[in-house]
Amino acid sequence: MYIKKDLRKRIDELNNFVDTFSNTKEFYDFIETKKIYIALKEDNNYICSRCDSHFKSKKKINQYDICPNCNQKLLLKRTINCEIKDYVMYLIKYGKDFIIRNYEVYSYYSQRKMKHIVTEYARQVISKDGTLGLKIMINNMRRNTAGYWYINYLEKTEYWKPEYYISTFGSVFVDKNVLTSRYWNPKELLDNAEVNICDIIKGIFKEDYTLELLVKSKLYNLAAQYYEFKKGSFDKVFGLDRSYLLFMIENNITYEELEVLKKIKIKDINLIRYLSRVFILTELLKYCKPYDLMKYKVAAKDSFLFRDYLAMANKLNYNMNDKKVLYPKNLKKSHDQVQNLLKMKKDKKLNKKIRERFNQIEKNKYSDNKYCIFPAMNIEQLYDESAQQNNCVKTYAERIAEGSCDIYFMRLNESKDKSLVTIEVRENKIVQKRTKNNERTTESQDRFLKLWENKILKGIC
């Protein structure tokens, strides 16, 4: 790759600085906590992949437990096919600026042991105003066909290249006194929340008061999104009264969780976390109670389909307090059922109006020795005409019902059930006349229609 000379120089400077930097013991301790160890299930026992001891656990597969022998936190697994990647950042000082060092911690199981590969794959210069300068990535970082980055461990790290987009969100480690603020401790925030480090650095150096306040209140996850909050009283800032504060702190609630808490006002973090995974929650809460939604396992369902079902059931005057109505066993089936019912109800109404219109214009029926013409009487006839003629006249039902047009069928006297010409009339004038496949009418058909229009519709001769 061709890289301009001064850019190459800046990359070398950055790399020289980082390569001669001594990572602290605290940083290595932090990385240790990101390495995953599994416990493999064999018969009824789990085997610790760190110390080989056997133990029993009441936890489920894919949950964590602690090894009673070596105290390691262990991910419980049934198979050895496990590859877990975690991403962390190390923030260090770089003159007046900072460097974000992006790491991948790769954990995998091999020969009855967990192995770990820790790779520093990117370096980004960030200024005090939160803007990024030089961003570089190692050459064995590759993008797969789906667009995701991965490290090709078979390839050697040979050089660093500039890269447009590198993550700045996640878990950030910073050594003591590297990032400071006059009134609060930024390290406290980074130790307790995943953040977009650009936002946080920007907030620290412009001494953002909301950020300070949220960290001091120990609402770390909310502090990560401090820019979402307006200044004001507690109620105004959070949309809740003060009685919720302790609950919010104890659970270090996130912005998404706060949004749910505001809607349901129930201090149950499991319920809140569950519902924070549900789309269009507000609309579902119009009909459903929060605990019932969790019981119904709504997060695993199509919430838009569910929303539509509820709205239609309500329209049909179903009892919206009946749990059998609210939480159908087969959502798709029930959805389609109410949809059909609603359509039938609507058709019935339309049909009544079309019939009324038919009674008014039935007098316009006409025939000569070859052709006859008569108005549409109901929706079924429109559907039949549409199917026979391959046109869209079936979509005219509402227009007929509201009186903005009339539809007539012109046919041969000898076969009155077979479609021939479909006619649209507005204000006693033919505005459309179509034969099968929207083809044009013949001269003979036109003569008949002209006569009918003049004699019957306009009453001229």
With CB under 5 A as the contact rule, which of the stretches 48-56, 165-173, 411-419, 420-428 interacts with Zn ion?
A: 48-56
Provide, rounded to whole angstroms, the least separation between the CB of residue 13 and Zn ion. 45
Choose between 7 and 70: whose C-beta lies nearer to Zn ion: 70
* Cα–Cα distance for residue pair 376/257, rounded to 1 Å: 57
Q: Does 51 bind Zn ion (CB under 5 A)?
A: yes
Q: Does 421 bind Zn ion (CB under 5 A)?
A: no
Q: Does 69 bind Zn ion (CB under 5 A)?
A: yes
Q: Does 187 bind Zn ion (CB under 5 A)?
A: no
Q: Does 45 bind Zn ion (CB under 5 A)?
A: no
Selected from 40, 48, 88, 260, the binder of Zn ion by CB under 5 A is 48
Provide, rounded to whole angstroms, the least separation between the CB of residue 39 and Zn ion. 8
**Contact of 293 with 284, CB cutoff 8 Å:** yes
Provide, rounded to whole angstroms, the least separation between the CB of residue 55 and Zn ion. 8
DSSP result, 19-72: HTS---HHHHHHHHHH--EEEEEETTEEEETTT--EE--SSPTTSEEE-TTT--
With CB under 5 A as the contact rule, which of the stretches 46-54, 175-183, 401-409, 414-422 interacts with Zn ion?
A: 46-54
Instruction: Give the pair of three-digit tokens for residue 412.
Output: 């041969």
Provide φ and ψ at 148, rounded to 5°: -85, 145
In the three-class reduction of DSSP (H, G, I as helix; E, B as strand; rest coil), residue 374 is classed as: strand
Choose between 70 and 117: whose C-beta lies nearer to Zn ion: 70
With CB under 5 A as the contact rule, which of the stretches 62-70, 237-245, 374-382, 438-446 interacts with Zn ion?
A: 62-70
| HSE-CB of 63 using CA atoms within 13 angstroms | 7
**Contact of 424 with 407, CB cutoff 8 Å:** yes
Q: Does 39 bind Zn ion (CB under 5 A)?
A: no
* Cα–Cα distance for residue pair 98/103, rounded to 1 Å: 16
- For residue 415, CA distances in Å to 79, 125, 419, 444 come to 73, 84, 9, 17
Best CA proximity match to 459, nearest among 359, 372, 358, 364: 364
Choose between 50 and 434: whose C-beta lies nearer to Zn ion: 50
Choose between 67 and 125: whose C-beta lies nearer to Zn ion: 67
Q: Does 36 bind Zn ion (CB under 5 A)?
A: no
Q: Does 444 bind Zn ion (CB under 5 A)?
A: no
Angle between helices 197-205 and 209-216 (to 10 degrees): 110
Q: Give the bridge partners for 307, in sequence order.
A: none
Pairing state of beta strands 37-42 and 73-77? parallel
Range 136-165, binding Zn ion (CB under 5 A): none
Provide, rounded to whole angstroms, the least separation between the CB of residue 66 and Zn ion. 9
Selected from 70, 117, 280, 431, the binder of Zn ion by CB under 5 A is 70
With CB under 5 A as the contact rule, which of the stretches 61-69, 136-144, 248-256, 439-447 interacts with Zn ion?
A: 61-69
Choose between 92 and 114: whose C-beta lies nearer to Zn ion: 114
Choose between 50 and 433: whose C-beta lies nearer to Zn ion: 50
In b/e form, how buried is each residue of 378-408, taking b as 16+ CB within 10 angstroms? bbebbebbbebbebebbebbeebbeeeebbb
Best CA proximity match to 303, nearest among 323, 322, 275: 275
Choose between 113 and 297: whose C-beta lies nearer to Zn ion: 113
Provide, rounded to whole angstroms, the least separation between the CB of residue 75 and Zn ion. 13
Range 334-393, binding Zn ion (CB under 5 A): none
Selected from 11, 67, 248, 326, the binder of Zn ion by CB under 5 A is 67
In b/e form, how buried is each residue of 184-214, taking b as 16+ CB within 10 angstroms? bebbebbebbbbbbbbbbbbbeeebebbbbb
Q: Does 246 bind Zn ion (CB under 5 A)?
A: no
With CB under 5 A as the contact rule, which of the stretches 43-51, 162-170, 252-260, 309-317 interacts with Zn ion?
A: 43-51
Size of the site for Zn ion (CB under 5 A): 6
Q: Does 112 bind Zn ion (CB under 5 A)?
A: no
* Cα–Cα distance for residue pair 432/337, rounded to 1 Å: 36
Query: Measured between alpha carbons, how far apart are the two ends of the chain, in Å?
Result: 87
Contact residues toward Zn ion (CB under 5 A) are: 48, 50-51, 67, 69-70
